[in-house]
A and B are shown apart, each in its own frame.
Chain A
C-alpha cells in the first residue's frame, strides 16, 4: 500500500513568488495535516483538514493557505515567499480525526532564494 505521497520532493523559488505543495494521503484516510520543519528544529503545525474543512490552524500568517479535495488529497499554498519560508514541509494523514496516529510523508524541501 502506498504511504503518504508528497510532490514535488524539492523546489527552488525566489522571494515574492508563490508555491503550491501537494499531498496524497493514505487510501481511506480522511484527515490531512501540514507541518513546517525548519532545519534543526521540530515540525511546526500549520493546518489540519478533515472532510474538506479546516479544523485547526497554527500560528502562521495569512500567506499560508490550504485546501482539501473530495478525494481527500490536499494542497498547501504559500504566497509572497520569504527567505524564512525555506523549510521541509511535511504532510501527515490519519484515518479519522483524533486517531492519534499520524502517518507522515517524506516532505517537500522548499528553498527560497
Chain B
C-alpha cells in the first residue's frame, strides 16, 4: 500500500546550520506531496507542497523537490533558526483529502 518513510529523529542542530530531512514514498499513480509542521502546543500546518514531478515547493526558507525517479521529497533549509524547532511530517495525498503521513522527525535547534 501507499506509505511514507522519513529519517528518524530527533535531529539537533545549531542555529544557522544546514537542514536536510529525508523523505521517500511508495504510491501508485501520481500523488501530491507535502511537508507539514507541528510546532509545540500547536496544530499541524502545511509548510509546503508539490503536485507533480520536478515541482519545487518552498516556504519560510524551506524547500523540497518532487523527485519521481527516486520517489523522494527531501526537506532542506540553508540556515535554521531556534524558531524552526518542531516536528516535521512528510505526507502524500492519494485521493481527495486522504493524506498519508510519515512518522515525523523532531527537530531541535539550539542557539
Contacts and interface: CB of A to CB of B under 8 A. Distances in A.
A20 to B, nearest CB: 20
A74 B44 CA distance: 19
| Interface range, A side | 20 to 34
A55 interface: yes
Interface residues of B, number: 22
Nearest to A98: B96
Given A105-B43, A106-B43, A98 B101 contact: no
Given A33-B99, A55-B96, 17 more contacts: A31-B96, A31-B97, A35-B99, A40-B104, A42-B4, A42-B89, A42-B104, A43-B89, A45-B98, A55-B97, A90-B43, A98-B96, A100-B32, A102-B46, A102-B97, A102-B99, A106-B43
Interface of A: 3-4, 31, 33, 35, 40-45, 48, 50, 55-56, 58, 90, 92, 94, 97-98, 100-102, 104-107
